[in-house]
Structure 1
C-alpha cells in the first residue's frame, strides 16, 4: 500500500516569518548574489547622480539668475520633467541606443552605461529644478552685492553654488532617491541580464514575480538601509558644516 505525500501548507504568519528569516539569513551570510547586485546598483545610481551634479546643478543655477529668451519656458519644462514617466525615458533611450538609432554604433544597449544614461536623464531635471529654487532665493539676497563687486554672470553662478552647497545636498539626495528607486527605464535599456545589468529594483520585481520572496525582501532591506544611511550621513554632514561655517 503506497503512502500519499501530503504537502504542508504553512499558516500565513508562519510563511511571513519564514520568508523574512530566510531573507535576513541571505544578508547575514553575505550572499554573493546580493552583494553583486548591490554593488552594481550603487555604481549605476552613483554614476547617474554624479552626472546630475555636473549638469543639473549649473543648469538650475543658470535658470535662477540668468536673463535670456525662453528662460521661463525652460523652467516650466524642467519642472514638468521632474515627474517624467521612467518607462517613456527608457523607450527614448532605447531608440537612441538601438542598432538603428543615432548612437547604435557604440553598442551601449543592455550595458550598465545605458542604465546610467537613462537614470541621468531622470535625475538632471529633478536636481536642476530644486537647485533653481535654492539659488533663486539666494540671488534675491545677494544680487546687489554681487553686482557691486562686478561679478560676471558665470562668476555669480559659481559663487552662489558654492555658497549654497549645504542646501543643495537636498537636490543631490532627491536625485539619488530617484535613481536608486527607478525600475522602468533601467529594465528597458538594461534588459535585467543576470550578472550584467541586474540591479536591486529590477531584481526585486523579477524575483517577486517568480515567487522568490526571500531574495526580493533581502534586496529591499538593503535598498532602504542604503538610502536611509546616505540621508543620515548627508544630514549629519550638513549639520556639522552649518555649525562650523554658519
Structure 2
C-alpha cells in the first residue's frame, strides 16, 4: 500500500511540475496519433460514404472485409508492417522501421477500418433519407458524397474521435514497429509498460493519468458532439 501511495504522490509531482520526460512522451503520443488520424480519416470517410451511395459488384464483400478488419489484432498489424519495413521487406530501402512514421503507418492500418465502418453505417442511414431528393435534383455522384459528408459531419466527427481513442491506447503494434526508443519513438502506452517493468511507478502512474485524462476528454467530446444531452432535454 505504501508503494502505491508513494507512486501516486510521485506521479502527481511529475504532472504538477511538468516533468520534461512526461511532456515529451505525451506530445509525441499526440503527434503520432493525430497524424495517423488525419490520414486514416482522409481514406476512411470517402470510402465509407462511397460504400453507402455507390452500388457495385464487390460492395458487400468490401463491407464485410471492413467489419472483419475492425477486429484485427494490433500485434498482427504490427508484425505485417514490421515485415514490410524491415531491411528484407519491399519497403526496407525507405528506412522507416523504428521511426514515428512506422508507428503512424501501423495506427492508420488499425483505425481506418473502424472509421470507415462507422462512416458507412451513418451514411447509409442518411442516404436513405436523402436518396429521392438528391436523385430528383440530378446531382452527380461527387455532389451526393459531398452533401452526405457535410450533413453527417457530426456523426463523422464522432467516428473520427472513436478512431482517436483506439489509436491513443494502442501498444502492441507500436511497440513492434517503433521499438520504444527513448527520445525517438517512446509514447504513452509503451512508456507505461516499460516504467512499470522497471519499477518506476511514479512515472508510470503519471503517464497513466495523462492517458486517462486524454481518454476522458475524448469521451466527453464524443458525448457533446453527438448531441445526446440536447436530445434528452427535448
Which interval holds the TM-score relative to the shorter structure? over 0.9
Partner residue of 1:162? 150
Residues 76 and 237 of structure 1, relative CA distance in 2, 3 Å threshold: closer
Partner of residue 68, structure 1: 56
Deviation at 1:55, TM superposition (A): 0.4
User: Counterpart of 1:150 in 2: which secondary structure?
Assistant: coil
Worse-superposed segment, 107-116 or 151-160: 151-160
Match of 1:41 in 2: 29
Q: 2:216 aligns with which of 228, 232, 242?
A: 228
Q: CA deviation at 1:235?
A: 4.0
Asked if 1:178 is matched to 2:156, the reply is no
Q: Provide runs of 4+ in structure 1 moved above 3 Å.
A: 233-239
From 123, 126, 148, the equivalent of 1:138 is 126
Instruction: Tell whether 2:7 aligns with 1:19.
Output: yes
Give the drift of 1:233. 3.8
Higher helix share: 2
**Structure-2 separation of matches of 1:200 and 1:159:** 38
Following superposition, the deviation at residue 234 of structure 1 comes to: 5.0
Over alpha carbons, which structure has the higher Rg? 1
Q: 1:237 Cα shift?
A: 5.1
Q: How many Å separate the matches in 2 of 1:231 and 1:169?
A: 12
Count of residues in correspondence between the two structures:
230
CA shift, 1:14, in A, is 2.3
Structure 1 unaligned segments of length 5 or more: list them. Answer: 1-12
How far apart are the structure 2 equivalents of 1:24 and 1:138?
46
* RMSD (CA atoms): 1.6
**Aligned-partner SS, 2:153:** coil
Is 1:190 the counterpart of 2:175? The answer is no
1:77 aligns with 2:59: no
CA distance in 2, matches of 1:235, 1:50: 21
Per-residue CA deviation, residues 176-217 of structure 1 (Å, 9 max, x unaligned), is 011000001110110000010000000111111111111111
Counterpart among 200, 203, 207 of residue 195 in structure 2: 207
**Farther-moved stretch of structure 1 (135-144 vs 14-23):** 14-23
> Structure 1-normalised TM-score?
0.90
**Aligned with 1:167: secondary structure?**
helix
Q: Does 1:114 align with 2:102?
A: yes
Structure 2: distance between partners of 1:102 and 1:151: 43
Hey, what's the Cα distance between the residues in 2 that align with 1:90 and 1:148? 47
Q: Which moved more, 1:221-230 or 1:74-83?
A: 221-230
Measured in 2, the distance between the counterparts of 1:182 and 1:173 equals: 14
* 1:218 pairs with one of 206, 211, 219: 206
User: Which residue number corresponds to residue 3 of structure 1?
Assistant: none
Give me the whole-angstrom Cα distance separating, in 1, the residues matched to 2:198 and 2:53. Answer: 51
